Amino acid sequence: MAEKVIGVLGGLGPWATLDLFEKILRLTPARRDQDHLRVIIDSNAKIPDRGPAILGEGEDPTPALVATARNLERAGAEVLVIPCNTAHAFYDAVAASVRIPVLHIMEEVAAALRAGRPEVRRAGVLATRATVAARLYHRACAAVGVEVLTPDDPGQEAVTRAIYAVKAGAAGAAERAAVAAVARGLVERGAGAVILGCTELPLVLRPDDAAVTLIDSTLVLAQAAIRAARAVDEPVALHSVGGDLRPPPTPTPAHPRGVDLPSAGGSSTLPSVQTAAGPRTGAVGPGWRRGMAPKTAKNARASGLRRTTRPSAARGRKSSPTRKPSSKTTPKLRAVAPVADRTAPRGKPARPLTKRELAEFRRLLEDEKRRLMDELEAMEEHTPEIEDQVGMDIGGGYDEDLADVASSTFEREKGLALESSVQQMLAQVEEALVRMEEGTYGICQRCGNPIDVARLRVLPFATLDIRCKELEEKANGLLR
């Protein structure tokens, strides 16, 4: 059966939309671009704020929601999702305006809660004041026999502040601590699980912020969208904040304050908001970044070498290849199993990799090595063209317009930066293959514990487990 196209009625807010898309990617089993689902996103941040409208204090967003839904349907979407809990107060109008199914986030969360935690009879809900006032989760959870608990007024105010801090790209440790305290208060009142009923909240909390399961409504919606698109009758699974989908936080330069799009649990990548959960970067899964250049790497493969010096600016001059990038950027790994570090954070260690998993990761790494070498070779073939044009511009041969010169120079510098990035990733992949030969692959170099298999599926050349990575980034001032 043909897969359906997912339409995302997004922008409510933009970071939550990006978080949903990332989760759809990570939940989809894919070895190549074409294995992923087609997703059409309309990030319409101009839709009026849903909260004030529900509370009778703002413009009605219904016309804009309906128009956006119809735009997605015309664009080819065959199933719609709305990564905004509060917007589901207008669900009936949106669903009636299109001829394609629209998933309901509250119903999906309630079904996941009943399937994954059948023993839970009372669930806490952290959401916007408007979502609570509209009793959206109250109705959905009542349908599966679960009573909803919500925060008191001071607690609700803390949750609201955290939500708008995420929207502003300014959420941090203070917001996390405040919302975590509210969640713990709900647990003390008898909640057997806590639903993060606002799509900004998974960008704030971590799994250990409450003694019960924290249910990420965005993650549940992502799984439901994939089930609907693939038309498979998979069992409903309960996903909690900081599940096994996202990679650990890694530093991302060149983002404005608060922009480093992570997800709850400090695990993720792709742009993200700088949150207490840690920054999120653009690191991607086993497919990584494709499509830079389709040419082959005959020379690189034949010599087993790759260029690490910058290409010459003069026509006809070729740079000499070297073995690998400087050890300052990719330090040589030791050939012995690491010794446990007493300063590493404690936690339940992951299980060691099986022989089948090791073979799977070896194939992934070897495929990625070939792809990266292809990219390097293609970039080396393209670089002289850019540099010749820069030389002609500066020399006045064709065009003396300074804007043209600046544009060409920018293209050259961008190419060099991309080449350096590919070289560094290639070095990490090769080092991972070396560790596999030495029998130390999948072992944290800091604490000596096995690295969780889910982390390796996202970042096969990882050298630290999630907890040690967090400790490293805290020491470097990357996490607050």
Name the burial class of residue 37, with classes exposed (0-12), middle (13-18) and buried (19+) by CB atoms within 10 angstroms of its CB.
middle
**474: alpha, beta or left, given left = phi > 0 and alpha = psi -120 to 50?**
alpha
Catalytic residue, chosen from 84, 141, 444, 447, is 84
Q: Is 141 a catalytic residue?
A: no
- Is there a catalytic annotation at residue 468? no
Query: Beta strand pairing status for 39-43 and 79-81?
Result: unpaired
Q: What positions carry a catalytic annotation?
A: 84, 198
